[in-house]
């Protein structure tokens, strides 16, 4: 099962619609998650299914003004909302042959309005949402995807009371750790592997920001996928990509940073083998 996520930054021009179509077609995506998408769901669905007989189905939110547009190749009965908050939504994704998992989608507060301390302080709310999803469905086969607006190394991503996401598969496989007599379950975060000149992929992040402040990272990995240890064997590590081009269209400008005429974020794709 191939999954893609993209923050398209509110673009509505025909170029972005065509790029979304090419992205889903080239990468054979089974689940497509978009945020900051102002294209009408009906219009986007028609575009995704151009020349085809209903390859994709919409998986609408219960909320009238959702941050997320979700399309799947699964019939709507196999992609149903579990619970929803303003910046977090969860879907029960059912593979008719191989079973199900929970897909949690995040669009966390922007650094334009909240600094690191604000985000770190609020990250327990995300943990609480995920914990409630797992209680409701009765399992922890959970994937979290979205624009976290935090880098993998930020406290809100790694602290026990936040997402508790580790870069190390071996540590994640241990399941949990105890801090001050409380047990905290891990997430595995594969996005760390994109950092650095010898990192995975063509670029070191999904979002580029150059400021005149004393501290700037330039490349940031705000768009991430993290997963519970119970799905580690199903996650195909080599399938994870930060895309810098879709077909013949580069998503980068001549300076090799992100072409903001397309979007200010780069899309990510990955694959699960639920047969394992």
Question: Are the C-beta atoms of residues 44 and 69 closer than 8 Å to each other?
Answer: yes
Chain CA centroid to CA 265, Å: 12
* Segments in 83-214 forming alpha helices (H): 116-137, 155-158, 169-173
What is the Cβ-side half-sphere exposure of residue 230, based on CA atoms within 13 angstroms? 10
For residue 103, the domain's CATH number is 3.60.10.10
What range does the domain containing 256 cover? 2-272
Whole-number Å distance between alpha carbons of 109 and 188: 22
Whole-number Å distance between alpha carbons of 233 and 222: 24
Mean pLDDT, each 10-residue run in order, the chain (276 residues): 96 93 96 94 92 82 83 88 91 86 96 94 96 96 98 98 97 97 97 93 94 90 98 96 97 95 97 85
For residue 16, the SS3 value is: helix
- pLDDT for residue 187: 98
Assessment of whether the complete model's pTM goes beyond 0.85:
yes
- Indicate the number of domains in the chain: 1
- pLDDT for residue 276: 64
Question: Are the C-beta atoms of residues 232 and 173 closer than 8 Å to each other?
Answer: yes
Whole-number Å distance between alpha carbons of 51 and 21: 11
Whole-number Å distance between alpha carbons of 82 and 127: 16
């Amino acid at each position: 099962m191939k999954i893609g996520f993209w923050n398209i930054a509110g673009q509505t021009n025909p170029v972005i619609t065509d790029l979304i179509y090419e992205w889903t077609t080239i990468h054979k995506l089974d689940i497509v998650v978009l945020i900051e998408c102002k294209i009408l769901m009906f219009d986007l669905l028609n575009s995704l299914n151009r020349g085809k007989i209903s390859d994709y189905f919409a998986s609408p939110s219960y909320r009238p003004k959702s941050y997320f547009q979700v399309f799947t190749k699964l019939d709507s009965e196999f992609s149903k909302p579990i619970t929803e908050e303003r910046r977090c939504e969860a879907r029960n994704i059912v593979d008719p042959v191989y079973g199900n998992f929970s897909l949690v989608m995040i669009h966390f507060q922007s650094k334009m309005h909240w600094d690191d301390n604000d985000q770190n302080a609020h990250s327990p709310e995300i943990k609480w949402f995920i914990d409630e999803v797992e209680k409701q469905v009765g399992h922890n086969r959970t994937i979290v995807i979205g624009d976290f607006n935090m880098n993998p190394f930020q406290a809100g991503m790694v602290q026990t009371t936040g997402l508790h996401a580790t870069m190390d598969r071996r540590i994640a496989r241990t399941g949990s750790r105890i801090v001050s007599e409380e047990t905290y379950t891990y997430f595995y975060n594969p996005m760390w592997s994109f950092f650095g000149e010898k990192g995975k992929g063509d670029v070191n992040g999904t979002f580029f920001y150059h400021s005149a402040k004393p501290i700037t990272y330039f490349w940031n990995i705000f768009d991430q996928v993290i997963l519970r240890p119970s799905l580690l064997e199903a996650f195909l590590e080599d399938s994870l990509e930060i895309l810098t081009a879709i077909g013949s269209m580069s998503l980068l400008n001549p300076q090799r940073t992100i072409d903001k005429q397309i979007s200010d974020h780069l899309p990510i794709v990955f694959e699960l083998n639920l047969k394992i």
